[in-house]
Each structure stands twice: as structure tokens, then as C-alpha cells.
Structure 1
């Protein structure tokens, strides 16, 4: 029996559909999240809409990571689920809710909702106001991130985030609370002094959350020209490289505009980002250890170096004692 004339083309069609899905996934996930939040906001339930949308996005990423992983090896547990969750709930989430709600949004409303001297283009459509606010906020986020990499007193706190051995949606919030507070300090003045109104600030916060969890997901996707606008998972995987020529690049949180301007943009099309990521320094395995270590970083690194030296010596001692 001869095979169907259409059967030889089936693998090609499947590859085409699979590749098409690779390119569509990120814009569908991000765009869908924005549309859901916009719909809820239009109904007068902005906060509820954001929370439900973020939860739905997290659940969707959880499923997609299992069926379309970027790195199969990242499925294995790194033993950091509890610290990752603790950082998210007890540091990043709490600091953002308390400080952003009390200062960023409140300050933006007190400044932006008052008649300004024409500093903020309040007459623009909301879409363009949000785009402008993202560009302004990104300037602070960019420098907060870059300084955390290039200045040791802040790197020791940011190292908690980079100590992750894999990227997946669950460790998106793996940040030391000092690191999170630093980002807020850098960003709030940019948008507040510009006079961005409260609703615009809420949108900036929502978009930052959506892009943040997408950036860390372990899902096979392709991005094309989007890599020159947004901070995509593909760009952020280079940022987590242990090779500082790659890792000290792509500082943008949402956009790569300032990376392009200040020449810290990196994307090697000839190869995949490294699957082995992390830091070369030591980092405690426990949540409370990770909170404490940055405050006595040099002493902790010296102690761990001495401990590794003793362990190597102990391993070599039995071999030496068995020699005739």
C-alpha cells in the first residue's frame, strides 16, 4: 500500500507550526495579560484584575515549562524552592506592596493628579502615557541594576538573585529585600518627578510584573525583532551567564532601550545561552542564610574558601596514609 501523498509533508508542516508557536508564545502571553488587566480595570477592578491575571499567567507558565522547556535539565530540583518562595513572599512581595503602595503610587497621585505645569502630557491617550512612563521608569531600573553588578557593596545583595542555578517562573521573586528596596529608590524619583499620574504608575507596575515572570520562565520561545524592544527570556538568559562578558549585559527590566544607548546590549545569535548559570562566589542554601550573608560578605567568602580548602585536604589525607 502506497503512503498518502500528503504524509511526506507532515513533518515539515509540524515544524512550521512549532516554529510559528515559538514566535507567537511571548507576545500572546504578554499581550493576553495586558488585555485581561485592561478589561478588569475598565470594569473598575484594577487591583483584582492584576492579581488574577498574574496568577493565571503563573499557572500557564508552570504548564508550558513542563511541555515546552527551554532547558530540560532545569526541570531537576535545585533544592531552592523554599528559599525562592520565602524571598518572594517575605521580601520582594512585601516590600513592593508596602513601599510602592505607600510611596510610589501615592506620591504619583499627589503629584500627577494635581494640575502640573505641563510637565506630564496628561492629554495623551493612556497607551502613550504608559509607554512614556515605561521609558522614564526604565532609566532608573537600568541604573539600579547596572550599579548592583558593578559596585561590590550592592552586588553582594544582588548576588542572591544570581545565585540561582536555573531559571524558571518560580524564582522570579528571588531577590534580597535590600536589592528590591534599592530598585525602588532609583525608580520612584524618575516617574514621580516627571509627574506621572497614579493610573499610569499602576500600569507600569503591572507590566513590570508580567515581563518579570516571563523573563525568568523556562519555556522554548523565539523573539526575533522583539529582542530589540523588550527584555525577553532569551536576552535575560545571557544576563545570568557566569561569564561576566555576557552576564554584565542586558540590564533592562522591561525595555532594552537604555542597554542599546549605553552599549550594554548583548545577544549572540550563533549559539544558545549557557545552561550552567549562577555565581562564582559562595551563597548559603537557606533563606535566612541568604538574608544574612551579604551583610558580612567578605568574611563569609573567606570562611567558605577555608572550608573548601580543609575539605580538599581531608580528601587527600586518607590516600596519603595508605601509601607504603
Structure 2
């Protein structure tokens, strides 16, 4: 049901991060098979199929409209640059799109219901990166990829970005105590992203960037104290089985409980990603 290349990538990621979390754990008391880990394995194995199809439809349809607005000379000029420079530009442009989409999923109550699935994880590890509702992932990735595709960046540069994104997204969720020192302000780390998932009021709606904390610094949404969070997750009840999580965002708030205890005053108040 998933292609061989994806299976090999999943296997390599597991073989790297499972031992890494045992050797350098952030929360040493956390078991390898933490709560709901089988549910997240299901996300790992099958969610990608839906996301790839959705991306093909959304980005493909959007490209038909957007590419007509781009002067032909611009993509030609962009592709004339060295691949390494294109890759850096793609990283910045794509992460700006990711930041804006991610922030929207926190700010808009209906979108938050999709994103709450990802935030419902209460024990961070490499598998946590894969618990993402398909609608959330499709729209967020579309916001990242559409600008760079429309501008005509080379396939090689976009591939470098996708590779960095895939590995870094797993790493920043991992249960590791690895820190980046002064580089923590330039590159997203577990220290940066764990605070996005922290269930502490001061950390709510912070650290939206995928790779570049500088975006949060510029937008006044950066929160990275020296200590690490002790509690993750959301207060609102979120189901813990894949099929129930898929339909959870579409269930009325009356049936599923409020998104946030302060949703009317501060829409994202109980949303710790």
C-alpha cells in the first residue's frame, strides 16, 4: 500500500531514532512503547498515502491558476542560480509558507480542530511527528511547496528541502536531550519544538516555524527558556484511535467538547503544539 522507497526511509528513520532516544533520552522514564504508540505507527505506515494524493490534487489545481501569474523570465532566472543557493532560498520561502499556515491552524477554531490531533500527543518521541491529520498536513505542505513550485525552483533544490524537512521534523519531536547551543536561534531543535507542544500557558501559540526559529523571533512568537517542558498535550478530550481522530474535527463542539476553555476570548488559548 505504500511504495518501497517510503518503506526503506521509514525503516532507516526507525533504526536511527529508536537507539538515539535510548542513548540520549530527554525523559528517561518514558518507555519505548509509550501510550498510543500503535496508533502513531498506523499514521506512519498509512497516512502518507492520503497526504500524497491530497497534495497532488491541491497543489496541481493551484498551479494551474498561479503559474499564469508568473513571468516566464523569473523561473528561468531562478534556475540559473547554483543548486545550493536555490536550496537555501527554497528553505526560507517554504518555511515562511509553513509558518503562516501553521499559525492559521492555531488561530482559526475550525482549523485548530484538525491540528489538535497533532497536539494531542502527550509523550514526545520520533513517532509523534507522524500523528498529523491529513487535512492539516495537506494544507500546510501545500502552503510550503506551492510558492517554490510556482517560482520554478529546480527539482534538485526542492528535493534537498523535502529531505531536510522530513528528517528535521522527526528529530525535533524526538525524545532526545540534544541541544544546538548558539545555533538554536538558527535551526529548529527539540528544545525549540518541544515548547510548541508544551501544555503550559506561556508556551501556547509559540514556535510556529518548521526549520527557522528566526521567523518566530521576527514575529514575536518565539519562546525557548533554558529548561525543557514537563507536560505535553491539550486539555480538550481528543480520541486516541486513528479512525476517530480522522472524523474528530467534523464532530460538533457540543458532541466533542470545547476546543479550548478560553476559545471565545483567545481562540488558541489551549493549543500547545
| TM-score normalised by the chain length of structure 2 | 0.81
Which of these residues, 139, 143, 150, is aligned with residue 96 of structure 2? 139
Q: Would you say 1:71 and 2:27 are equivalent positions?
A: yes
Distance in 1, matches of 2:21 and 2:140, equals 28
SS of the equivalent of 1:74 reads: coil
Distance in 2, matches of 1:285 and 1:200, equals 37
Which of these residues, 35, 41, 44, is aligned with residue 85 of structure 1? 41
SS of the equivalent of 2:179 reads: coil
More helix by share: 1
Distance in 2, matches of 1:138 and 1:281, equals 29
CA root-mean-square deviation: 2.9
Deviating more after overlay: 161-170 vs 67-76: 67-76
2:244 maps to 289
Distance in 1, matches of 2:254 and 2:175, equals 34
Distance in 2, matches of 1:128 and 1:50, equals 27
1:181 maps to 138
SS of the equivalent of 1:121 reads: helix
Does structure 2 conserve the Cα–Cα contact (< 8 Å) formed by 1:156 and 1:297?
Answer: no
Which of these residues, 213, 223, 230, is aligned with residue 266 of structure 1? 223
Q: How big is each residue's C-alpha offset from its partner over 1:211-254, in whole Å with a ceiling of 9 and x where there is no partner?
A: 10111111121211221111111111111111242131110112
Does structure 2 conserve the Cα–Cα contact (< 8 Å) formed by 1:95 and 1:180?
Answer: no
* Change in CA separation of 1:101 and 1:52 when aligned onto 2, cut-off 3 Å: farther
Does structure 1 conserve the Cα–Cα contact (< 8 Å) formed by 2:115 and 2:132?
Answer: yes
* Change in CA separation of 1:78 and 1:60 when aligned onto 2, cut-off 3 Å: closer
Distance in 2, matches of 1:71 and 1:296, equals 34
SS of the equivalent of 2:251 reads: helix
The alpha-carbon deviation at position 273 of structure 1 amounts to 1.9
2:118 maps to 161
* Change in CA separation of 1:134 and 1:197 when aligned onto 2, cut-off 3 Å: same
Does structure 2 conserve the Cα–Cα contact (< 8 Å) formed by 1:141 and 1:183?
Answer: yes
* Change in CA separation of 1:235 and 1:273 when aligned onto 2, cut-off 3 Å: same
Distance in 2, matches of 1:302 and 1:221, equals 37
Does structure 2 conserve the Cα–Cα contact (< 8 Å) formed by 1:226 and 1:232?
Answer: no
SS of the equivalent of 2:222 reads: coil
* Change in CA separation of 1:65 and 1:95 when aligned onto 2, cut-off 3 Å: same
Distance in 1, matches of 2:144 and 2:179, equals 30
Unaligned runs of 5+ in 2: 259-273
Number of paired residues?
A: 251
Distance in 1, matches of 2:257 and 2:73, equals 55
Does structure 2 conserve the Cα–Cα contact (< 8 Å) formed by 1:215 and 1:232?
Answer: yes
Alignment of 1:95-174 (within 5 A): 95-100=50-55, 116-119=72-75, 120-174=77-131
Q: Would you say 1:253 and 2:207 are equivalent positions?
A: no
Unaligned runs of 5+ in 1: 1-46, 304-324
Q: How big is each residue's C-alpha offset from its partner over 1:93-128, in whole Å with a ceiling of 9 and x where there is no partner?
A: 1134334467759969xx7xx994135522222111
The alpha-carbon deviation at position 55 of structure 1 amounts to 3.5
1:299 maps to 254
Q: Which has the larger radius of gyration?
A: 1
